[in-house]
Amino acid sequence: MSGPPDIRILRDLPVPLADGTVTRAEAWLPDDGAPHPAILVRTPYRKEAETPTPLADARRAAARGWAVVVQDVRGKGASEGAFEPFVHEERDGADSIAWVAAQDWCDGDVVMAGMSYVGATQWLAAAARPPALRAIAPALSSDDAAEGWSHHAGVPLLGFLASWSCAELAPDPAAVDDPSVAWDDPDRAAATAPWLAEWLREPPGSAYWRARSVAHRRDDVAVPALVVAGWHDVFLRGSLASAARSRNPRDRLVVGPWAHDDRLSHLVGSANLGLAGNGDPRLFDWALDFYDAARAGADPPLPPVRAYALGARRWVDLPSWPPPEAARVAHALRGGTFAAAPDDPVPSLGGRNLLLGAGGLGFGVVDQRPVAARDDVLVERIALDEATLLAGPIVARLRADADGGDALWALTLCVEQPDGALHNLADGVAAGAGELAVELGDAFALLPAGAALVLLVAGSSHPRWPRPSRARRQAVGPGSCLELTVAPAGLAGV
């Protein structure tokens, strides 16, 4: 019985674009002399680093009859041209797909793979409707470069945007050595990465962001999309919104326990979330099944939603997200008063965050007791008498008062552990005052009877969000509540 085929690697292939710019790619081919369908990965992070990974494993792909092509996008790696995030990816992506499809080692069918910005290159290329494209699988990414990527509730993700720009996209040696250089001095950072000033200034929905996004024109995306999200990922909000904008009955959603980690590990921050949640190799196998179905014009074997239930430590197949059985349950908040000061902001500890160059990359499950112990943080504890399955959006409805209309409200929802540690589960932000709905994102987590949720409310979380503009007093008034989406505990299969 013969084993999987050997692999032939073609290095630094010239991929010409329509305007004459020459980009470079690397192709991993089953070495059997036959043409094969191809998985295209378009990256700004050096093509040599993109395979094998749990999202694009050329060895596993070859065993299933697929070639893998990894391309440096315009202006990055070995490719010619000037790089500007998001701007050229639609047209360049379509040109690249056509080039791959025309090679004698490709049978004419192309799909796409990859995470983060490499997911954005998929959404943008698909919007150009290249004839050879059959499917995309954007992971830990978003079809909107503004809300859910660069902003949450209109508030810019300062730490992520500054560190991503200066550590990865336009490296500044000082910021690579110490990423706080980027977020403490955005003007300096913008001198290296000129787009950063616009990212921090332009509001979601502006013409600037619409030109760099697909969210407002999803009808242009004709091929099926496998959206992959992570419960602890910085882009969870954007990923779930991308899935909710589905236009294709063959679209699928997979949500694992992951943070923004290309290894898709079940070890997230300081927590082990269960070996079953490790994404390698199962996720790529699911993706290959999805690609095969797309080529055949058939329904994928995946359910509409496959989600990892935190706490239950198992995958659950669902007909939709949130599950149809889920309902809203409100818990009253006591409220209180706290201060916010620009010279001593509450530190960002883990969460759905990403700080490139920082220790631990600034994400994941981190004990929040140091934050809860501060006198500028309001602490609300909610005891749960029965086993509770959180299964959908979490919203804090605040009667918010502040001496100044530009106040920031940074909220973190934690699960209290038996040893007293506070493990962050969800988080959100809003700006302003009055009747505020602070969206903390979605969760899928089974909590045992007797567990307690702890909500931390602060006027800052730096460097994730910008510092407060000035010192102020803030208050959460009576009538505020935390609204959970809850499903029957048995849905998690335990």
pLDDT of 222-242, one tens digit each? 999 999 999 999 999 999 999
Report pLDDT for 406: 83
Ranges of each domain in the chain: 7-143+217-318, 327-489
Instruction: Indicate whether 2 pLDDT > 70.
Output: no
Mean pLDDT of 343-372: 97
pTM score:
0.97
Neighbour tally for 34: CB within 10 Å: 11
> Domain 7-143+217-318 has what CATH class?
alpha beta
Residue 1: predicted pLDDT: 46
pLDDT tens string 280-312: 999 999 999 999 999 999 999 999 999 999 999
Q: Encode pLDDT of 261-272 as tens digits.
A: 999 999 999 999
pLDDT single digits (tens) 401-450: 998 768 999 999 999 999 999 999 999 999 999 999 999 999 999 999 99
Residues 123/221, Cβ–Cβ less than 8 Å: yes
Answer whether residue 334 shows pLDDT above 90.
yes
Q: Is the pLDDT of residue 494 over 80?
A: no
Whether 7-143+217-318 shares its CATH topology with 327-489 is answered: no
Percent of the chain, pLDDT > 70? 99
Pick from 482, 369, 384: nearest CA to 422: 369
pLDDT tens digits along 30-73: 999 999 999 999 999 999 999 999 999 999 999 999 999 999 99
| Average of per-residue pLDDT across 199-215 | 98
Q: Give the mean pLDDT of the chain.
A: 97
Q: Could you tell me which CATH class the domain 327-489 is placed in?
A: mainly beta
